[in-house]
Amino acid sequence: MDLVWREQRERLNELDELVRFRERLIRSWAIETGVLERVYSIDRGVTEILVAEGLKQGLLDGATDRDPAEVIAILRDHQEAIEGVFDFVAGRRDLSTSYIKEVHALLTRNQPTVTAIDQFGRTFETELCHGDWKVQPNNPRRVDETVHAYCPPEHVAAEMDLLIELHAQHCESNVGPTVASVGRFTVPEVAGRVRRA
Domain assignments of the chain as residue spans, ordered by start: 141-197
Report residue 120's pLDDT band, with 50, 70 and 90 as the boundaries: confident
Query: 66 and 113 in contact (C-beta within 8 Å)?
Result: no
44 vs 74, higher pLDDT: 74
Interatomic CA distance for residues 15 and 77, integer angstroms? 26
Are 63 and 75 in contact by the 8 Å Cβ rule? The answer is: no
Name the least confident of 25-39, 56-70, 169-183. 169-183
Q: How far is CA 185 from CA 115, 124, 165, 190, 196, in A?
A: 36, 39, 11, 6, 15
195 has pLDDT over 50: no
> What separation in angstroms does the CA of 50 have from each of 35, 56, 63, 152, 153?
14, 7, 11, 37, 36
Which of 19-28, 130-139, 172-181 has the largest mean confidence? 19-28
pLDDT exceeding 70 applies to what percent of the chain? 83
Task: Give phi and psi for 116, each to the nearest 5.
Answer: -130, 165
Q: What is the DSSP letter of 42?
A: B
HSE at residue 113, side-chain half, CA atoms within 13 A, is 7
Summary mean pLDDT of the chain: 83
Mean pLDDT in residue range 164-170: 88
* Whether pLDDT at 92 is above 50: yes
> Would you mind telling me the total number of residues written for the chain in this entry?
197
Give every CB contact of residue 38 below 8 A, 6+ residues apart in sequence.
115
